Amino acid sequence: MDAESSSSIELPQQCRQLTISEIHLATRNFDESLIIGRGGFGIVYKGTITNGETHFIAAIKRLDSTSNQGALEFWAEVAILTKLRHCHLVPLIGYCNDRQEMILVYEYMPHGSLEDHLHKFQTNLPWVQRLKICIGVARGLDYLHTGTGIKHGVIHRDVKSSNILLDESWNAKISDFGLSKLGPINQPSTYVNTVVKGTFGYLDPDYFTTGRLTRKSDVYAFGVVLFEVLSGKRAVDKSLDEEHWGLVRWAQESIKEDKLEQIVDSNIREGIMPKSLKEFARIADSCLDSNPKQRPTMAEVVVCLESVLALQEKVGNKLHPSGMRIFGNKGLMFPFRSNGEKSACPLSITHLVRGGWNTYRNYNEGKSKLKSEMISHQEKIVNQLKQTYDDSQLVKIAKGQKHMKALEESLGLVSKKLSEEKNRIVKDRKQQYHEKNMEDDAL
Q: For 323-336, how does the pLDDT look when each residue is reduced to its tens digit (9 = 90+)? A: 334 443 333 333 33
158, 206, 218, 265: the catalytic one is: 158
CB environment 238-266: b (16+ within 10 A), e (fewer): eebeeebbbbbebbbebbeeeebbebbbe
Known binding positions for ATP: 61
User: What residues contact residue 410 under an 8 Å CB cut-off, 6+ apart?
Assistant: 391, 394, 395, 397, 398
Average pLDDT of 266-278?
Answer: 91
Q: Which band of pLDDT confidence, cut at 50, 70 and 90, is reported for residue 189? A: very low
Do both 273 and 229 map to the same domain?
yes
Domain assignment of residue 348, yes or no: no
- Binding site: what residues are annotated? 61
Is residue 101 domain-shared with residue 147, that is, in the same domain?
Answer: no
Number of domains composing the chain = 3
334: in domain: no
Predicted confidence at residue 82, as pLDDT, reads: 85
Q: What is the pLDDT of residues 130-140, one digit of tens each?
A: 999 999 999 99
CATH, residue 194: 1.10.510.10
> Is pLDDT above 70 for 182?
yes
Asked if residue 291 and residue 418 are part of one domain, the reply reads no
**Do residues 172 and 126 share a domain?**
yes
Q: What is the mean pLDDT of residues 6-30?
A: 74
pLDDT band at 347 (very low <50, low <70, confident <90, very high): very low
pTM of the model: 0.68
pLDDT at 217 over 60: yes
Residue 123 sits in the same domain as residue 88: no
The verdict on 45 and 186 lying in the same domain is no
CA distance 86 to 137: 11
Higher pLDDT, 56 or 318: 56
Read off the pLDDT of each residue in 95-113 and give the average, rounded to a whole number.
Answer: 92
Q: Are residues 211 and 71 in the same domain?
A: no
Pair 56, 186 in one domain = no
Q: What is the pLDDT of residue 258?
A: 92
Is residue 283 domain-shared with residue 315, that is, in the same domain?
A: yes
Residues of the domain holding 375 = 371-442
pLDDT at res. 343: 38
Q: Is 241 a catalytic residue?
A: no
Domain match, 175 and 218 both: yes
Q: What confidence tens digit (pLDDT) does each residue in 45-66 have?
A: 999 998 777 888 999 999 887 6
